[in-house]
Chains A and B, each alone.
Chain A
Amino acid sequence: MSDDEAPGAPDMTVDPALARLLADPAVWAEPPDDLRARTLAAATGAAPAPLPHDLPRAVPGPRHAARGESRPPWGRRVLLAAAAVVVLGLVGVAGVRLAGDGGAGGTQVALAGTEALPGAHATARLRHEGAGVSVELDAGGLPPAPEGTFYEAWLVGKDTKVSAGTFHRRGDQDTVKLWLGVDPADYDALTVTRQPVAGGTTAPGVVVLRGKLPR
């Protein structure tokens, strides 16, 4: 039976360490077309084309934050874990409402809770300002992060994602102000994950809110 003929296999997930790597944009990076010609020319002694200096810089993923920990060789630890694929019930889908306007008031994005946090909701207003793009997140519909966890907001694109900052919502302030140093127009979605404090931003978080960015 082919993949498409299967009526639907159980939902599955993988070891968190493998999931962390699968969420890393670097793992999915594709060489640009011109790199082949440049590389082969440089290797074989043909006149190599210079490296372009106007290539867009990659946006570091969450792994680049505070990666000072010393880790044992992974081959044994994670690969074994990867082999131990666990069948689990997974998340469903939550509706996503969109409300975009690009006027002076900025762009408004409605975020809906995923099955990991059904009923949660928030509204984000994105504005271009002098220091970057501000994100005012009205998170009144998001419960305080449980002890030992925090929330992290993300812009998620086709090939990359960038953190917009972290918060916990344990006080009585509904509005969270975050900042972006990249243009949201280059991304597809705004998400909020719940991260374990022990794992920091490098750990694979649980997506609790998601909203699509207007194009």
Chain B
Amino acid sequence: MARRRGSGSVGERFRAGDERALAEVYEEYAGPMLAVAMHALADRRLAEEAVQQAFVQAWRAAPSFDARRGLGPWLRSIVRRTAVDVWRRERRHTAHRLDDVAQRDLPSVEPPSIADAEDVWAVRRAIDQLPPASREVVRLAHLEQLTQPEIAARLDVPLGTVKSRTHHAYRRLAAALAPAVEPT
């Protein structure tokens, strides 16, 4: 598909078909999109497929993208939908293999974890905005479940540095996530 280049914001250039903008959008959003898909599908291969499909759909629908609205929410909704599509497809195949359940007998449902899509997106975007050193401390503490002294040993930094990085990281997370709260 031959697409022209545009000028302006990434969203505007994406809408105009600037392939450089597509690459920029991928760099910024592939991580959160993969996080949403992984959370929903719990399968890296399927999650990557969902992300790829989401970008293809977004690119094809780019002319209809309203550049006044954020790319993030738009892409989040697209990858959420492609993840659900992939999940339903896999579920149908699994049902056919296991007990020959007809497609029409399967309720049209979504993976339970898709309910967290907005949460996963917001948290991933927030941690992506952390300085690398702070991000690593948070990752080690929460994903690897290391204590602060263990993190200090792993990173070969003083314990006080770990504490201060943790402190700053949590503050930044709070600041990044708080504005996402919708007013009641």
| A interface, CB within 8 angstroms of B | 3-4, 6-12, 14, 17-19, 21-32, 35-36, 38-40, 42-45, 51-53, 55-58, 60-61, 63-64, 67-71, 73-76, 78-80, 82-85, 90-93, 114-115, 154, 156-159, 161, 188-189, 191, 207, 210
Contact = CB atoms under 8 A, between A and B. Distances in A.
B120 A85 contact: no
A93 B174 CA distance: 26
Interface of B: 1, 3, 19, 22-23, 26-27, 30-31, 34-36, 38-39, 42-45, 47-49, 51-52, 55-56, 58-60, 112-113, 115-116, 118-120, 122-124, 127, 131, 133-134, 138-139, 142-145, 147-150, 157-161, 163-168, 170-171, 173-175, 177-178, 180-182, 184
B34 A31 contact: yes
Dominant secondary structure at the A interface = loop
Contacts of B48: 31-32, 35, 51, 55
A62 to B, nearest CB: 11
28 contacts: A3-B133, A4-B133, A9-B166, A18-B123, A21-B120, A25-B38, A26-B42, A26-B47, A27-B127, A29-B38, A35-B48, A40-B19, A40-B55, A42-B56, A45-B1, A58-B38, A67-B112, A67-B113, A75-B118, A76-B181, A76-B182, A79-B177, A79-B181, A80-B181, A82-B178, A85-B171, A156-B145, A161-B145
Given A21-B119, A58-B43, A85-B170, A3 B59 contact: no
B38 to A, nearest CB: 4
Nearest to B159: A8
B149 A4 contact: no
B115 A71 contact: yes
Nearest to A66: B112
A154 B145 CA distance: 10
Contacts of A79: 122, 177-178, 180-181
Given A71-B116, A78-B119, A57 B22 contact: no
A156 B138 CA distance: 15
A63 B163 contact: no
Most chain-B Cβ atoms within 10 A of its Cβ — which of A26, A32, A76?
A: A26
Contacts of A114: 147
Dominant secondary structure at the B interface = helix
B173 A14 contact: yes
Nearest to A187: B144
Contacts of B133: 3-4
A10 B162 CA distance: 10
A106 B43 CA distance: 30
Most chain-B Cβ atoms within 10 A of its Cβ — which of A3, A10, A69, A84?
A: A3
A27 B124 contact: yes
A19 B148 CA distance: 16
